[in-house]
Structure 1
Amino acid sequence: MKIKKFAGIICLTSALLVAGCTSAVPEKSPSRNQPTGSQLENKIPWVATKNTTRINTSDPFEAAVIVSKTIWTSTNDQSRPGGVVLVNPDDWQSALVSTDLIHFPNNGPVLFSRQDQIPDVTINELKRLNPIGSPQNQNIQVILVGNFDKNVEEQIKSLEFKFDRIQGKNPADYAKAIDAYYAKVAGSVPQSVIIGSMDSPDFTLPATNWIAHMPEPLLYVKKDEIPQETNDALKTRNGQANIYLLGPELVVSSNVEQQLKQYGKVTRISGNDPYENAIAFAKFKDSATQFGWGITSPGHNVSFMVIGSPALAIAQTPFSHMGKHAPLLWTGQDKMPSPVMSYLMSIQPKYKLSPAEGPYNHAWITGDQNTMTSNAQAEIDSMLEITSESGGGHGNMGGMDNNKQTDSTQMPGMKH
């Protein structure tokens, strides 16, 4: 593969571990139309800067696999997942609600399958992961969520994995089924729940990173209607639900908000557009229930996506479950929208004497340069960089006034 130098970018070329870095990226990003299931070993899976790590593909099947490799090394039983959720990336609504099963009971990723066949890239990852089976869920190793053809079941059987199926008639029915499945395995119904639009993915998708991280499920509504399946799921909370309505009245009306109040306390979390909406969700915290990320200070991880790629957003969801837990934020293909930049500035780390003090911010980015340019990645990296409280840079020696002449032997670390 031809490569060219790219200043400031580090390639993480090992398939499992960060080892042997070079300053290179592909001369041309892989086409988004290339056949799904291409050989990942022929591509650079990770591209990193000092404060960001990019999942370097815009193929959802491959992205889900690279995310899985990043989190579950599967070198021993402790680093293998309990179970895997298998979904169809073309059905974002059912795939989104299925991420509620990532943390519990699976401690495992979401991987993608076509309706009629599991592609090789996913099959190979299932073999590598070799899930141990969820002890809380009768040692189930794979959960199929969706109306897959019989051939998909036969492929799972050929791998000798114990599997389960969750099916539904529509998005609201899938959400209800996932909610019931989780409650059955856990032995109780989570009292808190997120309500999101089934028709507006850009406003609803930020919920995926939270429901993968915590027990609250996602249930669906339309702008002016609560589906019967959602009503049924909410009734199981016996009027005591803590309902967090995600999105502005543009996508979920005030009339629906009022109807939801019959099931418990309703709190709307919203922004004027998808960017501000995702930020509002990342900042929100309910001190009474401890629901919400509450990220309003430095020292955190975030996961950046470009709007318009629901399957990629779902592929990155495990970044909220393991490692540096991350909420989902939207950004632009080539540059950061002003609300996002303002938010990152508000949580930018500052040091007093030395940048070694920390804390540090980091970002996951999902998608190759067809989805997000290197300029956009560099801008994110810069906005996450730790800076001096005094406004000076690293060469300012611990925030000292550049206008003052100081003997180097009096500077920290300079007297040897």
Structure 2
Amino acid sequence: MNINWTSGNALELLENGEAFFPAAFEAIRKAERSVVLETFIIFEDKVGRELQQAVIDAARRGVRVEITVDGYGSADLSAGFIEAMTAAGVVFHMFDPQPRRLGMRTNLFRRMHRKIIVVDGVLAFIGGINFSADHLADFGPTAKQDYAMAIRGPLVDDIARFEAEALAPVRQPRLSWLRFRRKRGSGAQQAPGDSAAALVLRDNDAHTSDIEQHYRIGIRAARHDITIANAYFFPGYRFLRDLRHAAKRGVRVRLILQGEPDMPAARFVATMLYDYLLSAGVQIYEYCERPLHGKVATVDGTWSTVGSSNLDPLSLALNLEANVVVHDKKFTAELQQRLEALIEDHCQLMERQTRPRRKIQRVLVGVFVFHFLRRFPSWAGWLPARKPQLTSAPMPAEGLSAAKEHSDEACEGKP
């Protein structure tokens, strides 16, 4: 669970697609050498098409562009949409693509759920926002509420190194962005801010519970306040126990959960935990404006996290996830302020006396859920565990030639 804390970072909180998409697209349009992008979902809507055009333009002007999407989340991308990018020299990878069986997607487990962008090795983005129009308010009542962050400083070097390692299996031997960054990158030399931050990962190898453990460290260290906003809340027994213990020792513990869920089943299972948490003094707020998709938290005004990891069995025990953990009063205060606004304007407090009347069926389901949470981490090891593969889309001859030329320049250290 060891992570590399870096200081001297400049962090910017980006709320919803209205803030995230313009910042990400501007960075891609200004890229001079490289763009690495990982995301769970790209849809062929107005956001996906704008991303497509931005990376095509970047590749055509000589920027090395690599995109990785998940084979489950982005299974419906058309061949034409992908080929338009690869023809321009974009290198396109899909994580664990699997055929449909009886019209159903079969790659349900161990998804690549990260959302990361690294531009020129000096600017990175990380969070929970996919490239889809449902992260914009004009999508309508089902538009998602979510968060991301832009990062400059030494932490970008760690994120870029991680991306190079993640893509190493599908790169030609001489296409080493890690060598390129050590030669030309300046992220490790710059200190554009004063925030301490670290990249925390969850995978199915060496980091199986790192994100959950860092949440629990923050919860156990809390003295005054814990605020967690999470879309899919179904954490493990130890996590729930830590929340109860914090509330019982006088910490104000507030959870912001879905009141208007995009997946009704997610809210139903979360409500199975309400009795257990409310009885210890945990405050639960349901966000009722639109679907909550965020994965953020703050503790005591100094600790915070933003990333892709939900607090449910998929994210905590199966998916590939990435969060940034922050020790910084200014960034944490801004995130806290945004969450306070949600609570004040758009949330409903779940009072014990207003809960649905306890019926025997609900009690039985609650007992099942409780014991399921206690045992799920060990059960997860029984689920399909073959090593998922990255598959690269074939490039037309002209795109392959352009990509080789761009990578040759990178390896030789040319501008």
So what's the TM-score if we normalise by structure 2? 0.30
Answer 1 or 2: which has greater strand percent: 2
Larger Rg: 1
Higher RCO (Cα < 8 Å, 6 or more apart): 2
